[in-house]
Structures are given as structure tokens and as C-alpha cells.
Chain A
């Protein structure tokens, strides 16, 4: 099985290579040239040319792409920010921990709120508690994160003057951003927990457990929930990765000095290397999280574990074999 995981981790490499090529290509189709865009239309052509030469964008596309990939592979070098003329990691190192910390805290909060409520809603299906939590979850699913942030700011920060609304200097500063991140995520988790639990509760093995004389609590937690965990873990993984993306917007709302703020600034100032580095970094985090989700699967479900063990032993044939058959 370890061989499977090693393989799974190694598979990140071609995916990331693809991501790098894709992101680089997208960023290269920018109309006009970066020098002109940064210096403005009134700058003399010679200055623009000089700047373009400095950035290396006057070279052919494939040369630049090859250079970029080579730099990453050999030296983990993602280039220099065009704005600060420093390595892109200077900004990332300073800001990424803030975003990561927020996302981690938020995902824990989501699980603590969403999963128990989802279980209650499923076990007490059609009860008022089920109805209310399902309706609230549905509403929250349609609220854009930044507006939720603004509304929380309006209510708790402006009207009630209870909580600070900008920055992250004290623990109280964390409350509103975390609520903004947690509420929609928790409602998504509630929905998926509720629906998979409802499915699991109806399974024959749950009836077997009841027929054995198991207590209702044990029926729900030991028998139903353990089977419902797989989709829940998947959603947690996806939520975590998207939280990194979503935090871009939230950080802007609450003026948090995280990586999202830099991303928006970099996009506005055409700082292409910085944008590429941040996008690639987020994608890498996403891939890593999905590997963790896979590992969690094998711990939760012996059937998946068996599959992994089998896949680790044999080289898997191309999946499309089943199409041809």
C-alpha cells in the first residue's frame, strides 16, 4: 500500500508540470507587452523595450517556458516579482502562513459545526431542527462569501460595535473573517453529511445492528457514520482547497495581510511572475490535500485499502481499457 501512496505522490509531479505549463501559457497570451502596460502609454519606446528585455519577455515563448520550468526544477526558482524586483517567495513567505492559518482554523470550525448538525438533521429527519438547519444551509449556499463578510461587518462591527473589522492583530479580529469562511463551508458540509447519513441509515447493515440490540447511539455513530465518512472527508478536502481560493476575497473584505491581498494587487499591477507563483502554489496545496484525502480513505474503508494494495502491486492498465471492452 505504501507503494501506492508513493506512486500517488509521484503523480503530483506530472500534474504540477501540466499546471505550470497551463498557467504560463495563459499568462503569456496577455495582449500588448508588459513593459508598455507597466510604464503606461506615454513612456518612450526605448524604455519599454529595455524593461521588456529586463523581464525577458522579448524572447520566444518556448524559450521562456523552458527557462521557467528549468528554473523551478533545478533551483525552485519561480522568478522575480516585477513589482518589487525580489524573489516571489519574499512576499509569499511573509503572507502564506496567515492565509494557511485562517484556512486551517476555518476547516476545523466547519467540521465541528457542519458534521454534528448534519447528523442531527439526518437522524431527526422531518423534525423542526432538520427543517431549520436545511433551510439555513441552503440560504448560506447562495450567499457570496464577500457579501456575507460585509453583512457580518455591518451587523457586528458597525451597528453593534462589538468586533473589529480590519486586520488580524488580536484574537477578536479573527472572529468575523472566520465566521465568513466557516458559515458557507459548514452549510455545505451539513448538506453532504445529512444526505449521506440518510442513505447510510437506510442500509441493511444498520438494521442488522439494531437487530443485534445495539444502542441507537452506537447504531448511528459506529455503524452509519463510519460508512458516511468517505464523502464527508472528500468535501472537507475540497473545501479546504477552495478556502485558500475563497480567502482571496475574504482577505480583501477584512483587509487581512494574507496571500489573497497580494494576488489581487499583483493582478492589478500586471506582476505576472507573482500571480503565476501564487496560482501554482495553491494548486500544489490542492494536490497535496487530495493525496491526504486518499490516505484518509484507506484508513476509513477496508475496501478502498484493498484496492490500493492491489494497485500498488500491479501496474494499472490505462483506465480507458474499460471503454473499449
Chain B
């Protein structure tokens, strides 16, 4: 089992969701986040003062998937979230040690 954490443009969340649904991955947690990588951010002007807003709004999508479809899932996410411009985001993959379903208490493999 692996956890795939994708940080994508906010307007790409639906596309990523659809792409994962095609692989029968239905579980995910989506969080509004802010951050920056290579993308510089933008200049904001409030009351005549310029500010550099370096942390830009992104969406983080976390999904735990079986090892067998990790590669496919990553490929699907990258394809769905890409625009080719700086600021498209990142995909991180982590190992998951154990997973329990709260309703039943059963351990999943």
C-alpha cells in the first residue's frame, strides 16, 4: 500500500478526481493548501503598497492505493494535472504501514 500525495492547481482537482475514478480509486482526502516551488508567486497591491505573495493556493489530494496500481495512478495524476507551465505541482509517494477502517475496526491490506 502506498500513499500518493499530489499538490495540484485548484482548477485541476476535478480532472484528477475523474482520472483516479477511472482506475477505480474512489477514496481520497482533499485539502486546500498554500505553498510554492519554483513558481514565484504574484504581486498584490493593497492601498498602494506592493506585496509579494509567494505562497500560492494549491490543492493537496491524498489517496492510498494498492502497490499494484501505484504506477498507473501516478501516471494518471500527472497527465490530468499538467498544463506544462511552472506551478503545475508535485506528486509524492509514501509507504503506508497499516490501514484500519474505523467503522468495523478491521485491518486492511
Q: Do A and B come from one complex?
A: no
Q: Which residues of A pack against B, CB within 8 Å?
A: none
Q: Which residues of B pack against A, CB within 8 Å?
A: none
